[in-house]
Structure 1
Amino acid sequence: MLYLGESADQLFREYDDVDEDSVAQDLVLQVMKVYSIQTDLSKGTKDIGIVIDGTKVLTDLGNFPRACAMLMGLTDALNLAYPKELRYTLEAFQKFSSS
């Protein structure tokens, strides 16, 4: 992503040791993100999922690579346009998945 001039913060959002209300309020503001919620650092990750237009569309995906693959499937199945700030990264993901 850095090589393509895009920031990882535009695609991934990690929430460490925060309350559920603040996470829900922040996710409502997101256009397209892969998120990770970790409520207690000793217990590991609680949830990894995808939010599109402020709505959680997939949850409990287990890991970031799976979430990225699912995001590509969702953008294709729903015929969504890539966000401007992630255009090059998601185009690279698309090329990797088609080969």
Structure 2
Amino acid sequence: MTEASALSAIMKTTVGIYVTKQTPGNDFPDVGIIIEGVVVLQDLDDVALTTALLFGLCYSLNMRYPSQFRYTLKGFKRC
């Protein structure tokens, strides 16, 4: 994925978690949170921590959970 296509994907994302894989120039993968097309947190340790922080941000920012993700929380509960 090129940098331009990655930026385009970020701009189109309402709420999401991103993970970049290791590349020769980058020793560590990057995990972060995107809210409304803006990377709000980056360089997090793992996806589990990032998921917990995403739910904490939704709660603390008093965000309305996107209706198209209404079954996501049920999926997390079953896992």
TM-score grouping bracket, smaller chain normalisation: 0.7 to 0.9
Tell me the amino acid that sits aligned with residue 53 of structure 2: M
Structure 1 residue 30 and structure 2 residue 7: aligned? Answer: no
* 2:54 corresponding residue in structure 1: 71
User: Cα offset for 1:77?
Assistant: 0.6
SS in 2 for 1:24: helix
User: Cα offset for 1:27?
Assistant: 0.4
Identity of aligned residues (%): 34
CA RMSD across the alignment: 2.4
Q: Which runs of 5+ in 1 are unaligned?
A: 1-17
- What is the TM-score with the length of structure 1 in the denominator? 0.64
Question: RCO greater where, 1 or 2, for CA within 8 Å and sep 6 or more?
Answer: 1
SS in 1 for 2:39: strand
Q: Which runs of 5+ in 2 are unaligned?
A: none
Paired residues of 1:72 and 1:90 also in contact (CA < 8 A): no
Q: Find the aligned partners of 1:24 and 1:88 in 2 and give their Cα distance.
A: 27
Classify 1:21/1:46 alpha carbon distance in 2 versus 1 (closer, same or farther; 3 Å). Answer: farther
Classify 1:25/1:88 alpha carbon distance in 2 versus 1 (closer, same or farther; 3 Å). Answer: same
* 2:39 corresponding residue in structure 1: 56
Structure 1 residue 86 and structure 2 residue 69: aligned? Answer: yes
User: Cα offset for 1:24?
Assistant: 1.2
Equivalenced residues, count: 77
User: Cα offset for 1:44?
Assistant: 6.7
Classify 1:92/1:59 alpha carbon distance in 2 versus 1 (closer, same or farther; 3 Å). Answer: same
